Structure 1
Amino acid sequence: MDRMSKEETVNVGTPLLEVEDLSIGFGAGDAVVQRVCFKVMPGETLALVGESGSGKTITCRSVLRILPAAAQIRSGSINFNGKGGVMNLLALKERAMRDIRGDQISMIFQEPMHSLSPLHRLGDQVSEVLYLHSDMSASEAKKTVLDTFDRVGFPDPERVWRSYPFEMSGGMRQRAMIAMAMVAKPDLLIADEPTTALDVTTQAQVLGLIKDLQKDIGMAVILVTHDLGVVANMAETVVVMNKGRVMESGPAPAVLGAPAHGYTQKLFAAAPMIPQVAAPARPATQDDPILEMRGVCKTYTMRAGGWSKPVAITACHEINLSLGRGKTLAVVGESGSGKTTCARLALGAELPDEGGEVLFRATPDAPAVQINAMSRTERVSFQRQAQMVFQDPYSSLSPRMRVQQALTEPMEIHNLGTKSDRYDKAAEMLRWVGLEPSMLSRYPHAFSGGQRQRLSIARALTLDPVLLVCDEPTSALDVSVQEQILTLLEDIRDRMGLSYLFISHDLAVVARIADEVAVMRQGVVVEQAAPDTLFYNPRHPYTQALIAAQPEPDVNRPIDLALVAKGAGAPSSWPEAFRFDGQQAPALRELDPGHKVRCHA
C-alpha cells in the first residue's frame, strides 16, 4: 500500500494508540508495570519520563510485542488505530504483528549494537525494511535509504551504505538505527532514549529531524527519556513513571512548569543545567602542572580495502594543554573530535607522533617524566599514580569477579600490602564512594548502573593515584544518579587533592565540575577558557553551537536549531574570522587573558 492510501485510512478523530490498565510481571513476583494508562493522538509527541527501572522501556516493548519470553501481560489492552481500523495489539496473531512492526510502528532502541547485525552492511540492513513492507525496486530503495542517511546527518551517505556497524562510532551507529526506524515513514515512532549516545549538536539536529518528519507525514512519537531538556523541546504531553506506576501526567507546559508530584520535582532538582549566572571561580591555578601536552599530534593509518592506498586520519593536531595540580581540566567535543584519543595519550595508552611531548610530574618538586618515552620502571610507577574511570562501568568490571577481587586486583598486581591490608583498603574505598563493605562478596550484575560506576571509581582509587582520567563517567546514568556521581567526584577531588582530566560532551556537567575547558572539533582545540568565561562569552561559532544545542527543561526556551546548524556546519561556512578549508586551521590565539580562540589575526 502506498504512503498516501495508508494515511487516508487512519481515523484522526480517535487516539492513534491507547494503553489501558496495562500490568506486566515476571514469574510469581509483583508486577513491574502496574495499571499504566495513556493515549497518543495522531501527530502528537508523548514523553515517557523516568529513571532506569521505572518501567518505561518494557511498557513500550509491549506495544510491539517484543517482550522477553518470561514476561507476562497480566491485564490491560493496547489499541492501535491503524490502516485496518482500531485493533487490540495484544490480541493480534504474530503474522499480523509482523506487518505492523517497522511499517506502521517503528522503534529506535537505545543500544544500536544490540539491534544492528555485525555481519551485514548498513545499507543492506536499512533497505531490508523497504523490501519487507513495500514493492520498491533495489534502485528506489537505495535512493530512499541514501536520502534518509543524509537527513539524519551523515556527511557521506554512500560510505555509510557500504560500511559495517563496527566501522562506525557509537553516535554514528545510533544515527543508522534512527534511519532504519524512519525510512518507512511510520505512523507511530517509539524512540527509546534515541539521543543518549549522541552529541548535543547531533541530538539537536535529530530532534529537529523527528519534528520535521512529524510535520511531513503526521507521525506520532512516544519519546522514552530521562532528559527533561529533551522533553521540553519535543513533547506536547508528559507521563512520569516510577517503579512501574504513573506518578504524574498532563500537558508538557503544566507538568514542566509546575510539577505537582514529589518524584517529578526530584527529577527537576537533579537535572544538570548551565547556570544562568557564572559561578565563583576556584582559586587560580598555580604554576604547578601535573600533566602537560606539548605540540601533540596523533595520526592513524586506516586500511581502505581493495586496491586503494591506506588513508591517514589525523585524530589530534597540535594539542597544547596544561592540567594544574588539584584542578579539573575538561575536554569537550562530539564523537570523533579526538577527546578520547587525548585521554589515551595522557595515560600513555597511545604514543604521539614524532615531535610531541606528554609530561607528568607526580609531585611539585619531582622532575617531569615524558610519558611517551618511559622506561619499564617509570611506567609501573606511573600506572600507580594515574588511573582511568571509564564510560561504561559494566564493560570495565569483569562479570566473573566478585567486587572484592575486582578492587584488590590492582594492589596485587603492584604487590601492595598483605591480603588483609588489601581487603581493608577495598572496604575503605567502598565507604568512600558511598557503598557498604558487605557488598564485597557480590558480583557486578547485582548492582545498578550508578552503583557500578561507584565501584569503578573505588577500583581506580585503591592505588592512591594523584591523577584521574574520567572518560564520560556520567553519560550513561540517569539525572539523579549523575548528580550523585558528580558530587562524589568533587568530594574525592577535594579530600584527596586529585587532579582530573575530564572527558565529556555534556556542557552542563562540565560547567559544574571544571576549572578550565578545552573545546575540541575534528582533532583541534578551537576554544579554551575557564567555565565562567567560556559559557558566558563564547567566541568561536562551534562553541556557540554546543551551548545553543544544550536542551533546557523549559518549554519557553527551545533549542535554536539555526545557530546549532551554523556552528556545527563546515568550517568554510563560518564567519570570516574563523573560516578555513581542509586542514589549514588558523592558530589558537589568546584574545583575552586565559581565553584562547582558534581564529585569524
Structure 2
Amino acid sequence: MTPLLSVENLSIGFGSGEAVVKDVNFDVMPGETLALVGESGSGKTVTCRAVLRILPRAAQIRSGRITLNTEKGPLTLSEMSERKMRDVRGDQVSMIFQEPMRSLSPLHRIGNQVSEVLWLHRGASEKEAKRQVLQTFERVGFPDPERAYRSYPFEMSGGMRQRAMIAMAMVSKPDLLIADEPTTALDVTTQAQVLGLIKELQQETGMALILVTHDLGVVANMAEKVVVMHKGRVMEAGAAEPLLKSPAHPYTQQLFNAAPAIPAEATLAPPLPDDDLILEMNKVNKTFTMRSGSAWKPDVLVHACRGVDLKLPRGKTLAIVGESGSGKTTAARIALGAELPDEGSEVLFRATPGADPITVHKMDRATRTAFQRDAQMVFQDPYSSLSPRMRVQDAMTEPLEIHKIGTKSEQRDKAAQMLQRVGLNSDMLKRYPHAFSGGQRQRLSVARAMMLDPSLIVCDEPTSALDVSVQEQILTLLEELQEGLGLSYLFISHDLAVVARIADEVAVMRQGLIVEQAPPDTLFYNPQHPYTKALIAAQPEPDIERPINLKLVAQGAGSPEKWAEAFRFTDTMVPSLVELEPGHKVRCHV
C-alpha cells in the first residue's frame, strides 16, 4: 500500500548553525495515526512545519524529500512552489497549532476565521459555510456555537481558543491532519471528546493523522505507530503496542518513568489546618455581560463564579480543577485583584501569620503595590504573557525595576539564577521569547513569577504546555520552593495526575460552581459527583489496554440537567455544598 506521506532523510537547520533535525524518516499510511513523541525542543514541531513549508525565515531544509501521494499523483512538497503549496495547506493537509493566541487573528471574529477555509478551498457560500462551521463547533464541544461564532479570540479562555483551532483544521475534512499538541490547553473531558471526534472523522473520511504530543496517555489512546525524537534525531520507531508495552531505548524508558499518574493506592492525609490562612474567598460571585450581537435582543448575563468559598492555608497547595470556561481562571484573577467580584463577595489576604487581612478587591494604590510583591501569577499561555519585543533579561528584571529592588547587576544575577532554577541556561538571557519552544517559554514564565520572592503564587495551568520530563522538573521545583520558602499555591489545572501529586486540597468547578471539594486521596478514591467521576475517567493513561471510557466521560461532562436527580442543577435551582464526611463536600440535594 502506498503511504499518504513519506518523509525521507529530512535535515533542517537555522542559519549556519548545526542541524536541529537530522536524517528523520517516517511514513504515514491513509487513515493511520502516527504519534511524534519527545521533549520540548526535540524537533517534532519543526519537522511538521517542514511538511507544510511554514518554517521560520532563518530555517532551511538542508536535505531530504517530503512526498504527499494524492489521487492525482505524488506531490513533492519539499520542492513545490509557494503558489502551489497554498492549494495544499488547509485543504489536503491541515494543521492544529499549539498556541492558539498566536495563530488566531485578534481582529476577526472566530466564525469568519474558520469559515475562510471553506470559502477559499470549497467555494462555499457564506450561509453554507456558517452551517458547516456551527456543526463543527458543536462537535468540538462549544456549549454555545452561535456565541462562539460571533466572538473574538480575546473573549475566550485558552481552552475555548484551542477548540476553535481544532474546528478550523477539521472543517474542510483534510486527507492529512497534523496536530501539534492539540489538547494541551483542553480539560481532560473535552480532550477525551476531541480525541474521540478525531477518531470518528478518521473513520468517516479516511483522514490520516500526525499527532505531536508529550502525553503518553494520549499516544496510547490514539496511535498505531510511534516515532520518538530527541535532539533532532529518531531514537525509536515502530508499531505503538510493542513500543508502549516494552520501550527499548533508554530515552523512551525515561519518558515513561517521568509520566505523572494518579497513585494506585490512597494514603490518607490529615485535615488541613485553618488557623493560619493566607487567602480566603467568601461567597465570591462574578457576573459578566455579553453583548447579544443584535439591537433587538437583550445582552446575556454569564455567571462565571457563583458562591465560591475557598480557604488556602499558608504553605499549602489548593488546586481548582474543571473544564475550560468553568470559572477556574476567573476565581484566580479575583484572588489576585485582577478582576473585581460582584457586590457582597469577600477576598482576604494575609501576607504574614497573624497580620491584619487585606481586602483584595478594595485596595488603595500603596496597598496594591505591596500586595503585588507578595502575590504573583504564572499564566497558561506563555506566548501572550511574555512580550515578543523584550529580551528575556528585560522581561525577567522588569518586576525588580518596577519595585526598585537591587542594582542593575544584582537584577541580572538574580535573573540568571532563576533561569538555572527552572532548568534553563543563563546564556539565554539575551534571546527573545520566539527563540524558545513552548515548554521553554513556560519555564521562563515560572522563573519571572519567582523574581519578587512572593509568598503566594497563582499557577494557571503552569504545566499544560510542558513535556513530561520538564513537567516533572517544574513540579519538583515548585515542591522544593514551597518546602524551602514556605510558598502557598493556588493551582489551576485540568490534569488530575499533576493535581494528585502537588495538591493538599482539591476543589472541582463546573459552570461557576464548586461541585465537590476534598483532599486528593478522598476525591480520587471516593468521588461522589458525576462530573468528578467523568474527570477521573477521562484521564489518559500510558497503557494501550486501558482506553478512555468515552461513555462515562459523556455522562458526567454532559448537561447538568441530565445528571442523576441528587446532583442535578439549573440556572434557577442549585443544590447546596453538603459535607458528606469530614473534609469532603459535595454539591447535592440531601
TM range (shorter): over 0.9
Deviation at 1:585, TM superposition (A): 1.6
Aligned-partner SS, 1:314: strand
Give aligned pairs, total.
589
Q: Which moved more, 1:228-237 or 1:377-386?
A: 377-386
Task: Tell me what 2:350 maps to.
Answer: 361
Aligned to 2:479: 490
1:191 paired residue among 165, 179, 194: 179
Structure-1 separation of matches of 2:473 and 2:534: 28
Whether the aligned pair in 2 keeps the contact of 1:285 and 1:327 (CA below 8 Å) is no
Q: Quote the residue 2:2 is aligned against.
A: 14
Q: Which of the residues 87, 96, 107 maps onto 1:108?
A: 96
- State the secondary structure of the residue aligned to 1:32: strand
**In structure 2, distance between residues paired with 1:66 and 1:451:** 21
* Other-structure match for 2:462: 473
1:108 to 1:428, Cα distance in 2 relative to 1, 3 A? closer
Residue 367 (structure 2) aligns with? 378
TM-score under structure 2 normalisation? 0.92
> Given residue 494 of structure 2, which amino acid in structure 1 is its aligned partner?
H
Contact 2:32 2:209 in 1 (8 A): yes
Query: Which region of structure 1 is more displaced relative to structure 2, 481-490 or 382-391?
Result: 382-391
Displacement, 1:249?
0.4
Deviation, structure 1 residue 507: 1.2
Alignment-derived partner of residue 268 in structure 1: 256
For 1:558, the equivalent position in structure 2 comes to: 547
2:121 is matched with 133
Give the TM-score normalised by structure 1. 0.90
**Partner in structure 2 of residue 167 of structure 1:** 155
1:341-376 alpha-carbon deviations (Å, 9 max, x no partner):
111211222222221111222333223332223344
Deviations 1:140-186 (A, max 9, x none): 43333322222222233333333333333332222222222222222
For the Cα contact (< 8 Å) 1:282–1:515, is it kept in 2? Answer: no
CA distance, structure 2, for counterparts of residue 258 and residue 559 of structure 1: 21
Matches within 5 A, 1:173-212: 173-212=161-200
Name the residue aligned to 1:6. none
Work out the percentage of aligned pairs sharing the same amino acid: 73
Indicate the larger mover: 165-174 or 230-239.
Answer: 165-174
1:257 correspondence with 2:245: yes
Match of 2:131 among 121, 143, 168: 143
Q: The residue matched to 1:343 in structure 2 has which SS?
A: helix
Q: Which residue of 2 aligns with 1:575?
A: 564
Matched, 1:595 2:547: no
Residue pairs, 1:205-284, within 5 angstroms: 205-279=193-267, 281=269, 284=272
Question: Which one has a bigger Cα radius of gyration?
Answer: 1
1:450 touches 1:485 (CA, 8 Å); kept in 2? no
The 1-side partners of 2:441 and 2:159 are apart by: 23
1:47 aligns with 2:62: no
Distance 2:472 2:175 in 1: 37
- Does 585-594 or 215-224 show the bigger shift? 215-224
- Report matched runs for 1:22-101 at 5 Å: 22-101=10-89
Distance 2:328 2:389 in 1: 31
Give the conservation status (yes or no) of the 8 Å contact 1:526–1:540.
yes
Partner of 1:90, secondary structure, is: coil
Cα distance in 2 between the residues matched to 1:88 and 1:422: 51
Supply the distance in 1 between the matched residues of 2:310 and 2:373 (Cα, whole angstroms).
22
SS of the equivalent of 1:296 reads strand
Map Cα deviations across residues 303-339 of structure 1 (whole Å, 9 max, x no partner).
Answer: 3344243332211110111111111111111221111
Q: Does residue 297 of the first structure (1) align with residue 285 of the second (2)? A: yes
* Deviations 1:508-539, CA, capped at 9 Å, x for gaps: 11111000000111111010000001111111
Q: 1:447 to 1:193 in 2, by over 3 A?
A: closer
Deviates more, 1:132-141 or 1:292-301: 132-141
Letter in 2 for 1:555: I
Contact map agreement 1:22 1:77 (CA 8 A) in 2: yes
Q: 1:426 to 1:151 in 2, by over 3 A?
A: closer
SS in 2 for 1:76: strand
1:71-119 Cα deviation digits (max 9, x unpaired): 3323222232211133433344444433333332222222234433334
1:587–1:600: 8 Å Cα contact kept in structure 2? yes
2:312 counterpart letter in structure 1: L
Match of 1:310 in 2: 299
The equivalences for 1:150-161 within 5 A come to 150-161=138-149
The answer on whether the counterparts of 1:40 and 1:220 sit within 8 Å (CA) in structure 2 is yes
Question: Quick one: distance in 2 between partners of 1:80 and 1:530?
Answer: 51
- Cα distance in 1 for partners of 2:431, 2:117 equals 43
Distance, in Å, in 2 between the alignment partners of 1:432 and 1:94 is: 43
- Indicate conservation of the 8 Å contact 1:588/1:597, yes or no: yes
- Where does structure 1 lack aligned partners over 5 or more consecutive residues? 1-12
Deviation at 1:416, TM superposition (A): 4.8
CA distance in 1, matches of 2:424, 2:252: 26
CA distance 1:217–1:290, shift in 2 (3 Å): same
1:530 counterpart residue number: 519
Cα separation, partners in 2 of 1:235 and 1:297, compared to 1, 3 Å: same
Instruction: Answer yes or no: is the 8 Å Cα contact 2:276–2:354 preserved in 1.
Output: no
**Which of 503, 513, 534 is the matching residue for 1:514?**
503
Aligned equivalent of 2:337, options 345, 348, 358: 348
For the residues of structure 2 that align with 1:430 and 1:396, how far apart are their CA atoms?
17
Whether contact under 8 Å (2:158, 2:380) holds in the other structure is no
Letter in 2 for 1:531: P
Q: 1:320-359 counterparts in 2 under 5 A? A: 320-359=309-348
1:390 corresponds in structure 2 to 379
Give the conservation status (yes or no) of the 8 Å contact 2:40–2:439: no
**In structure 2, C-alpha distance between the alignment counterparts of 1:92 and 1:260, rounded to whole Å:** 38
- Deviation string 1:517-570 (CA, Å, 9 cap, x unpaired) is 001111110100000011111111111111111111111111111111111110
Deviation larger for 149-158 or 508-517:
149-158
